[in-house]
Amino acid sequence: MSASATRPIRKFNLCFLGYGNVNRTLMRLLAERSEELRARYGIDYRVTGVASRRLGWIADTEGIDVVQVLPSTAVGYNDSNVRDWLRTAKADVLFEATALNVSDGQPAVDYLRAALELNAHAITANKGPVVFAYDELSALAERNGKRFLFESAVMDGVPIFSLFRDTLPAIHLKGFRGILNSTTNVILTGMEEGLTFEQSLAHAREIGVAETDATADIEGWDATVKVTALVNVLMGVRLRPAEVQRQGIQDLSAEVVRQARAEARPYKLLCQARRTETGVKASVGPQQLPLTDPIALVSGTSSIIQFETDIFPTLTITEENPGLFATAYGMLADFVRAVS
């Protein structure tokens, strides 16, 4: 007997805040997996809200044909409209994928808070709210019987947060190290292969890894925020990006990078954190690593993280050349976790 024959089908109203690559890919993935969601998990859905600065706030409880979502159907976009939009859409789940604000995580924090206060699950791919409002949003979700989930905030959809939350109970995390920013890794790899810094950055933009303004990546801010998110959630220590020792790759010349590779000690933008007697010491910066170190072998868009715990001295997760579907999958998996 199939799962769908033994469990009732529950239908959820989904709202998407931010209509860039991540949420558009998530919509596609949800459509592709819709039959599996029904059969295995008893989950059905309709899209009742889509919002972005280009589109405005669009809501229809009868369901939105996302293929037909056009700017001409929009109402005015103003941050204060989010609660009216969520109410009109009768949101059960909010997928938030707006731009990162490294200063305070806003306005994403307010968006997620509004969703939870209106009794919707809050799922985000945004690192900012995890760094600046993890305790608040987690407590709010628990009080309201909802979930605040963010698996796609670090290393796309690789199950890092859920690994520790659901699979490794009562383990003690001593620290971690790894490569968590694809843009800088692509730039460094390109320079090793003979490109200039500018050519390598242009290549990163061409393949969709780097934003038009890649300053946050190049100066190490993106990686710093990811480190802070991991420390806050997995190590239980409240850290802010300004407390992380940070250095970007902007001062590394192509000649220096190629020479380091020739000497079998390539540069990597290394992210690391370690528990100390007084808290956690964290840093992000370019370091030369010997080729005997697995982190030194990770190139291009790939990422890696090594955890040190009291049980497993080294627990390594490597992600090889992910695409947008990896990030979208993390949000889909959070959706299933939230409503199951």
> 284-295: per-residue pLDDT in tens?
999 999 999 999
Spatial CA neighbour of 57 closest among 16, 108, 23, 109: 16
For the chain, give every domain's residue range.
Answer: 3-157+325-339, 166-321
How far apart CA 247 and CA 212 sit, in angstroms, is 21
pLDDT band at 69 (very low <50, low <70, confident <90, very high): low
Q: 102-106, 121-125, 280-284: which range is least confident on average?
A: 102-106
State the CB neighbour count (10 A cutoff) for residue 259.
13
Could you read off the pLDDT of 233-281 as tens digits, one per residue? 999 999 999 999 999 999 999 999 999 999 999 999 999 999 999 999 9
pLDDT at 4: 45
The 10s digit of each residue's pLDDT in 206-221 is 988 888 899 999 999 9
Nearest CA among 91, 71, 84 for reference residue 14 = 91
Could you tell me the pLDDT band of residue 54, with boundaries at 50, 70 and 90? confident
- Fold for domain 166-321? Dihydrodipicolinate Reductase; domain 2 (3.30.360)
Average model confidence (pLDDT) across the chain? 93
Q: Is the dihedral of CA 83, 85, 88, 91 positive or negative?
A: negative
**What is the pLDDT at residue 1?**
40
* 143-190 pLDDT, tens digit each: 999 999 999 999 998 999 999 999 999 999 999 999 999 999 999 999
**CATH classification for the domain delimited by 3-157+325-339, as one of 3.40.1010.10, 3.40.50.300, 3.40.50.720, 2.70.170.10:** 3.40.50.720
The pLDDT of 302-318, averaged and rounded, is 97
Q: What is the mean pLDDT of residues 214-229?
A: 96
Query: What are the CA-CA distances from residue 325 to residues 22, 158, 242 (Å)?
Result: 8, 11, 31
Per DSSP, the residues of 202-248 read HHHHHTT-S-SS-HHHHTTHHHHHHHHHHHHHHS-----GGGSEE--
Global model pTM greater than 0.75: yes
Phi/psi of residue 178, nearest 5 degrees: 170, -170
